[in-house]
């Protein structure tokens, strides 16, 4: 494929994230043509069959079919998974897929993926048969939690995840903030994140995960920092530079 213009497909059910990835690919890899951007699994299968791109960036969690199921039904020379799952699952298929990207994707990490893809293309390295690993991963996907168990004195409270405004790391604990009150749990953010719906909860700082439905506005300061205002709340949340790209279009 050396000397030929490479084409890629992006499949992600979050239009803003898909558009952001396409924009940054255009900057970091201008020779790559993004042939299509789709937002669900069946559309990804159809586009892959019709366009036969060289590279596919597949979100793992999508309506209709997951990225893993799409990969089972199609064959792409170079496959990159985009995922919110933790390292224990990612390592299982790293050798079979070209790479993975952990949401939200930093420019540094995306540049590493691009370099890996370029090397694979130049050496015409074909991917291994990913079928068996995909089957294993489909069984290992973290179940989305519906309730948070929080102890208050001698009582155990079941906090509906739908009521959570944000999670914030606080020394040895994680604060679970709802509209009514906050709770303290011992589960660290790195363990919570893979169990949350990536479309509904975004990590915006190494210490903070926020419910997207709770965000009313994002303010970009002169120094480039982003601050989030929350619906019905007086406090604001800071967005670190690694996650600021999530709010470029807000």
Query: pLDDT tens, 180-232?
Result: 999 999 999 888 887 888 778 988 998 999 999 999 999 988 877 899 999 99
Nearest-CA neighbor of 60 among 87, 90, 36, 32? 90
| 37-70 pLDDT per residue, tens | 999 999 999 999 999 999 999 998 888 888 888 8
Whether the Cβ atoms of residue 41 and residue 19 lie closer than 8 Å to each other: no
Distance in angstroms between the alpha carbons of the first and the last residue of the chain = 38
Quote the pTM value.
Answer: 0.53
8 A C-beta contact, residue 24 and residue 12 = no
Q: Does domain 7-140 have CATH number 3.90.660.10?
A: no
* pLDDT of amino acid 34: 97
- Would you kindly state where each structural domain of the chain is located, as residue ranges? 7-140, 147-247
Whether the predicted pLDDT of 247 surpasses 50: yes
Domain 147-247 fold: OB fold (Dihydrolipoamide Acetyltransferase, E2P) (2.40.50)
**How far apart are the C-alpha atoms of 75 and 84, rounded to whole Å?**
23
Distance CA 4, CA 80 (A): 20
């Amino acid at each position: 494929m050396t000397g030929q213009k490479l084409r890629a497909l992006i499949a992600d059910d979050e239009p803003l994230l898909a558009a952001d990835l396409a924009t940054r690919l255009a900057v970091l890899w201008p020779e790559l043509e993004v042939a299509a951007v789709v937002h669900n699994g069946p559309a990804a299968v159809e586009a892959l069959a019709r366009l036969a791109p060289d590279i596919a960036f597949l979100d793992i969690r999508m309506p209709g079919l997951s990225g893993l199921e799409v990969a089972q039904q199609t064959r792409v020379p170079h496959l990159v998974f985009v995922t919110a799952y933790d390292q224990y699952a990612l390592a299982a298929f790293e050798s079979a897929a070209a790479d993975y990207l952990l949401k939200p994707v930093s420019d540094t990490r995306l540049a590493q993926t691009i370099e890996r893809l370029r090397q694979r293309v130049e050496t015409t390295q074909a991917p291994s048969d990913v079928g068996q690993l995909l089957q294993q991963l489909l069984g290992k996907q973290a179940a989305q939690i519906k309730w948070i168990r929080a102890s208050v004195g001698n009582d155990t409270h079941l906090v509906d995840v739908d009521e959570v405004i944000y999670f914030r790391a606080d020394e040895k604990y994680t604060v679970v903030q709802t509209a009514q009150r906050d709770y303290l749990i011992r589960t660290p953010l790195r363990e919570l994140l893979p169990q949350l719906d990536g479309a509904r909860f975004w990590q915006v700082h190494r210490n903070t995960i926020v419910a997207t439905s709770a965000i009313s506005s994002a303010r970009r300061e002169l120094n480039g920092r982003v601050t989030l205002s929350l619906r019905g709340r007086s406090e604001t949340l800071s967005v670190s530079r690694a996650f600021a790209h999530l709010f470029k279009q807000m």
